[in-house]
Amino acid sequence: MDMALPVVNATAAVLARVSAAFNAPLARAVVFGVHIDGHLVVEGLLIAVIVFQLSRKSYKPPKKPLTEKEIDELCDEWEPEPLCPPIKEGARIDTPMLESAAGPHTIVDGKEVVNFASANYLGLIGNEKIIDSCIGSLEKYGVGSCGPRGFYGTIDVHLDCESKIAKFLGTPDSILYSYGISTIFSVIPAFCKKGDIIVADEGVHWAVQNGLHLSRSTVVYFKHNDMASLASTLEKLTRGNKRAEKIRRYIVVESIYQNSGQIAPLDEIVKLKEKYRFRVILEESHSFGVLGKSGRGLAEHYGVPIEKIDIITAGMGNALATDGGFCTGSVRVVDHQRLSSSGYVFSASLPPYLASAAVSAVNYLEENPSVLANLRSNIALLHKELSDTPGLEITSHVLSPIVFLKLKKSTGSPTTDLDLLETIADKVLKEDSVFIVTSKKSNLDRCKLPIGIRLFVSAGHTESDISRLSSSLKRVSASVLSDY
């Protein structure tokens, strides 16, 4: 208590002095007519301190780049993954080996089988006229064309083939590509750039997906073959979006989806496209030479004038029994690709004998439209005979030459499903000599549609071939799927 009192007295004295100083006449000076009170000095000092602190540079820890020794250590420590992952046990690598042409009857691993694994829709494999035109071409031009189209790789048969296809379809011009799968993934990036909008079906195959990825545009998928989903997607994208007028917009669909066998309803798509001002890119690999009264494709099938479809692409490795692909459309569309399509400019051109095979195939189709009626009756017969297969159901369209069989009840895991289907296919081949295949997927493929057994029907199949297939399939699936 004694110590506290002097401290209290001292503090009180100091405080009195300070307040006196503040109340001193000096503190009450009048500058320019403004009273300066003592607290203004304190505030002035505070402002000065704040300004001083703000003006100093903030503290940044010094940047120390890695020394050479540290980089050496990091490089020594780093361990890469192996270039390829280890192969899973039981993965199927060996494929059946054909020893003759892949026609309706072929020789696999030494045995004669009925072939439902080749997309030889018009039965043109082994056709005499086509083989003769190829031989003539081979003797005149050799095999390869030895150069890209821009550098002496354009041979007169290429130009003949392009004009033949354009005349057949009724379009102004067409352009040839040297490989079926590269057609669509070169066409899409040639037209769609960053900032464009693409609406695509979710069931498109890998080549289309790759093209969409390479184009760097905004891609919106709609439900597989569902026109209501397409309409609502288009509405959502264009509603209230004034900028949508200036951006290029595309719809990408396939005519016959090779992942499911469905056929795209082109008349509805054209109506939607005209309403919302989108351009249509139609992939017709499996419908060219198959659909329509004379085989001119999906547009003829639905009675849509061909000018309404902006870009049509197709691979020629199916109905035309040759290789390569083409794209057709208006003159502007085709000319644009001759300089900006990477698969056309930077790659060697189609071998001339395949181009002359294409010309002969189109000639054959023009002269013998009855082959389409054969194909259609075969498909109808197959549908009828396979409608009551135990455990499997047909999910493809009734006119599609790809007949897609799915498991009625999935086991829940895609790998077990695939195993079951592969077992069925193997047994059918071994026991009944009918060659069928399952749909295979790469792990890079983003399509989520279910897998199944794919049967490729040809106009060259006879009724007995089809009955052999259906009886064998019914028997084997009954035995394999009896537990599920």
Among 437, 451, 453, 480, binds another protein (CB under 8 A): 437
Q: Region of 225 please: left (phi>0), alpha (psi -120 to 50) or beta.
A: left
Contact of 157 with 139, CB cutoff 8 Å: no
The C-alpha atoms of residue 144 and residue 325 are separated, in whole angstroms, by: 16
Tokens 């900028």, residue? 243
Residues 6+ apart with CB under 8 A from 71: none
Tell me if 323 sits within 8 A of 354, measured CB to CB.
yes
Half-sphere exposure of 430 (CA within 13 A, CB side): 7
Nearer Cβ to another protein (57/63): 63
Nearer to another protein, 52 or 78 (CB): 78
64 lies in the binding site for another protein (CB under 8 A): no
Q: Which is nearer to another protein, 22 or 206 (CB)?
A: 206
Q: Smallest distance from the beta carbon of 451 to another protein, in angstroms? A: 12
- The distance of closest approach from Cβ of residue 330 to another protein in the complex, given in angstroms and rounded to an integer, is 9
Show contacts of 265-268: CB within 8 Å, 24+ apart: 265/225, 265/227, 265/302, 266/298, 266/299, 266/301, 266/302, 266/304, 266/309, 267/302, 267/303, 267/304, 268/227
Site for another protein in 214-243 (CB under 8 A): 214
Whole-number Å distance between alpha carbons of 441 and 449? 10
Choose one: 43-51, 79-87, 287-295, 469-477; the region binding another protein (CB under 8 A).
Answer: 79-87
Does the protein bind another protein through residue 279 (CB under 8 A)? yes
Kindly tell me which of 115 and 260 has the beta carbon lying closer to another protein: 115
Q: Give the shortest CB-27-to-another protein separation in angstroms.
A: 59
Q: Which is nearer to another protein, 370 or 442 (CB)?
A: 442
**Binding to another protein by residue 154, rule CB under 8 A?**
yes
Q: Rule CB under 8 A: say whether 66 interacts with another protein.
A: yes
DSSP states of 425-436 as a string? HHHHHHHH-EE-
User: Strand pairing of 105-108 and 111-115?
Assistant: antiparallel
Task: State which residue, 31 or 84, has the beta carbon closest to another protein.
Answer: 84
| Smallest distance, another protein to C-beta of residue 422, A | 12
Stretch near another protein under the rule CB under 8 A, chosen from 4-12, 85-93, 230-238, 459-467: 85-93
Q: Closest separation between CB of residue 233 and another protein, Å? A: 18
* CA-based nearest residue to 329, from 164, 172, 189: 172
Burial of 308 (0-12, 13-18, 19+ CB in 10 A): middle
Pick the stretch among 29-37, 207-215, 260-268, 387-395 that binds another protein (CB under 8 A).
Answer: 207-215
156 in contact with another protein (CB under 8 A): yes
- Give one DSSP letter per residue of 130-146, joined into a string: HHHHHHHHHHHH-S---
Residues 327 and 166: their CA atoms lie apart, in Å, by 9
DSSP state for residue 63 in the 8-state scheme: P
- Rule CB under 8 A: say whether 143 interacts with another protein: yes
328 binds another protein (CB under 8 A): no
Report the site for another protein in 111-130 (rule: CB under 8 A).
115, 117-120, 125-126, 130
DSSP assignment letter at 174:
E
Which residue's CB is nearer to another protein, number 299 or number 429? 429
User: Closer to another protein at the Cβ: 402 or 407?
Assistant: 402
Cα of 221 vs its chain's centroid, Å: 11
Q: How many residues bind another protein (CB under 8 A)?
A: 110
Q: List binders of another protein among 456-475 (CB under 8 A).
A: 456
Q: Which range touches another protein (CB under 8 A), out of 45-53, 133-141, 365-373, 377-385? A: 133-141
110 part of the interface to another protein, by CB under 8 A: no
Stretch binding another protein (CB under 8 A), from 38-46, 87-95, 377-385, 460-468: 87-95
